[in-house]
Amino acid sequence: MKHVLVVLPVEDRHVHKLEEAGKGCSFDFTFGEEPTAERIAQADVILGNVPAERICASERLELLQLSSAGADPYIKPGVLASNTVLCNATGAYGKAVSEHAFAMTLMLQKKLHLYRDAQRGALWSDAGTVVSMADAVVLVVGLGDIGLRFARMCKAMGAYVIGVRRRAGERPEGVDELCLTEELDALLPRADVVASFLPGSPGTYHTYTAERFARMKESAIFINCGRGGAVDGAVLADALQQGRIAAAGIDVTDPEPLPADSPLWALDNLMITPHVSGFYHLPETFERVVDIAAENLSAHLAGRPLRNVVDFETGYKR
């Protein structure tokens, strides 16, 4: 009998769905408790994110189904045994994160963040000229579920959209040009908006260097709703302070939480949200996470192909 550890914050209807998907299994629901190393060691399948350091490369663990799209803590050497299959929750977060990123972009384009700041000071002030999404070239770096949804919203507003991903393939609907990661340097000078949805991995760490910010338009807006490690905070602060780019919106930082003494907090042309675009702030996101977990649990037990299997080399789903 397989033993399934569930660390998702489930309700009764979710319990029923997962037990139906895993008929014949024994279940251990934590209901919000932090699972001990002993409970983790007893699991054949884990549904949800457990502390990576507590897994200890368990040979018993066959499947780790994450509740997050990001898998970076779990692809590090020594966390998972070679026989453990790692799956993420790609597809659950696209709606929530893409809409958050899109709202950030429009807010910065229309300088609404400055008017909000002025409101707090009871200042009736004019922040000057604005730009339009309809006239923008939008560069979407990381064209997965989230990035593609963001791209299509920009396209619907009249933007010219360039998508960037690792592998060549058919250009998806909603994207005007499809390019490869190695073309990024040549693409940056063309973009009015650079939106990053990269996962955390050694290959994406500090993708946005000082040299790359220097290649962007001085009028460009930078958005990061992927992983904070894609850009060094000091480099971003310098680019904003020196006017190398016009503004930025970030939902992720490195480290998190962002320290109170970080220079990023004081920048008028930067909008920061505390990694809230995803999680379960949009309630339907959690329903999708449970659906993916149930689907993969059933598939694993039946020996069927799994959804969202993560490539340990890249941190992306295969």
Listed by start position, the domains of the chain span: 3-92+281-302, 94-272
Catalogue the active-site residues.
227, 256, 275
pLDDT tens for 13-49 read 999 999 999 999 999 999 988 999 999 999 999 999 9
pLDDT surpasses 90 at 1: yes
Q: Which residue has the tokens 């339907």?
A: 284
Residue type, 170: E
- Residue 141 backbone phi and psi in degrees, to 5: -100, 110
SS3 assignment for 97-122 = HHHHHHHHHHHHHCCHHHHHHHHHCC
Residue 318 reports pLDDT greater than 90? no
Task: Round the average pLDDT of the chain to a whole number and report it.
Answer: 97
Q: pLDDT (tens digit, 9 = 90+) per residue, 88-124?
A: 999 999 999 999 999 999 999 999 999 999 999 999 9
CA angle 102, 104, 105 (to 5 degrees): 65
What's the pLDDT score for residue 163? 98
Question: Quick count: other Cβ atoms within 10 Å of Cβ 131?
Answer: 16
> Does residue 255 have a cis bond before it (omega within 30 degrees)?
yes
Q: Does domain 94-272 have CATH number 3.40.50.970?
A: no
Token digits for 222? 């930078």
pLDDT per residue as tens digits for the range 169-202: 999 999 999 999 999 999 999 999 999 999 988 8
CATH for 3-92+281-302 (3.40.50.1110, 3.30.360.10, 3.30.450.20, 3.40.50.720): 3.40.50.720
The average pLDDT across 253-274 equals 97
Q: In this predicted model, what pLDDT tens digit does every residue of 70-82 receive, in sequence order?
A: 999 999 999 999 9
In the β-sheet with 85-87, what is the strand arrangement from edge to edge?
A: 26-29, 3-6, 45-47, 63-65, 85-87
Q: Do domains 3-92+281-302 and 94-272 have the same CATH topology?
A: yes
State how far the Cα of 318 lies from the Cα of 315, in Å rounded to an integer: 9
- Please give the model's pTM, rounded to 2 decimal places: 0.95
